[in-house]
Amino acid sequence: MQDTQHIIEKIQELKKERNAVILAHNYERGEIQDIADFTGDSLGLSKQAMEQEAEVIVFCGVHFMAESAAILSPEKTVLLPEKYAGCPMASMITADALREEKMKYPDAAVVCYVNSTAEVKAESDICCTSANAVEVVNSLEENEILFVPDKNLADYVSRYSTKKIIPWEGYCPTHNQILVTDVIKAKKEHPDAEVLAHPECRRDVIDMADKVFSTTGMVEYAKNSGDEFIIATESGILHKLEKDNPGKRFYSVSEFAVCPEMKAIDLDSLLNSLEKMQHVITVPEDIRVKARIALDRMLEVKRNR
């Protein structure tokens, strides 16, 4: 325990010395969320970082999240404590592959989920999050939408839009492996609990949910509604839900709803990152400018949901 406390104290000292801010995604380990200055979803954290006077952003998440921070705050140093913490879904599409797909659908607008690389964002017309995907798609003039890279989120959007949605065949392995049988089992064990599902889940899982939310949406809803919840998303969010709502009960839909990439960062790697100023995430300026345009267009869309 003393060793852990010593590491925490050293992190806090270095944070002040480096004029750094620590950001942690809702799926990170509990101890990482606890030491962070801000927790939240990937884009929300990047926007939060823009507003800070810190010179260094330590992003406890995965590679595309640190890239987003670098896109939005190019004047700051962005560190990713674990260099190879990536996102399998973001790796399921490349800029070259997207360029080829765009040629097949010249009249389609490209909507890119923020869970993607900077290069893919740069090839897109506009970005979206899981919370505003429906609003973003419906705000566009085009009737055809090439939606990348998440086929499950694309399918979810298609239910709330009259536009023709052309999905890329990518997916989040953690969400995609949550099955109807998992929900049935969880509901049998906790019959009074509401089921909250992430829109990265399969359609049949979403159909069994009481509510569908982004991670931020789940956090907000749980504060203001109900006492017992089954959570159909990556299990790391339970730490924040339980911390924010003492007395309420939260159950992961499956013991396997864990993203190994999101658990890659621990206190040791966070300390090493601050000590050695590693690993610096940069985005080439030509790509950064184009990707920033796609993000800015999204931020201009009024979020109603």
pLDDT band of 2, cuts 50, 70, 90: low
At 160-209, the pLDDT tens digits run: 999 999 999 999 999 999 999 999 999 999 999 999 999 999 999 999 99
pLDDT in tens, 240-266: 999 999 999 999 999 999 999 999 999
The residue count for the chain: 305
Instruction: Write the pLDDT tens digit of every residue in 77-112.
Output: 999 999 999 999 999 999 999 999 999 999 999 999
Structure tokens at 31: 């101890």
**303 vs 119, higher pLDDT:** 119
User: What does pTM read for this prediction?
Assistant: 0.94
Kindly state the tokens that stand for 9.
Answer: 């104290």
pLDDT band at 302 (very low <50, low <70, confident <90, very high): low
Per-residue pLDDT tens for 16-70? 999 999 999 999 999 999 999 999 998 888 888 888 899 999 999 999 999 999 9
* CA atoms of 221 and 188, how far apart (whole Å): 23
Q: What is the mean pLDDT of the chain?
A: 95
Topology (CATH level 3) of domain 174-258 = Rossmann fold (3.40.50)
Q: Where in the chain is the domain with CATH 3.40.50.10800?
A: 2-85+262-284, 90-172+286-300, 174-258
For 90-172+286-300, which CATH superfamily applies? NadA-like (3.40.50.10800)
Q: What is the CATH number of domain 2-85+262-284?
A: 3.40.50.10800
pLDDT at 89: 98
pLDDT grade for 301, boundaries at 50, 70 and 90 = confident
Is residue 300 scored above 80 in pLDDT? yes
Q: What integer pLDDT is reported at residue 47 of this predicted model?
A: 85
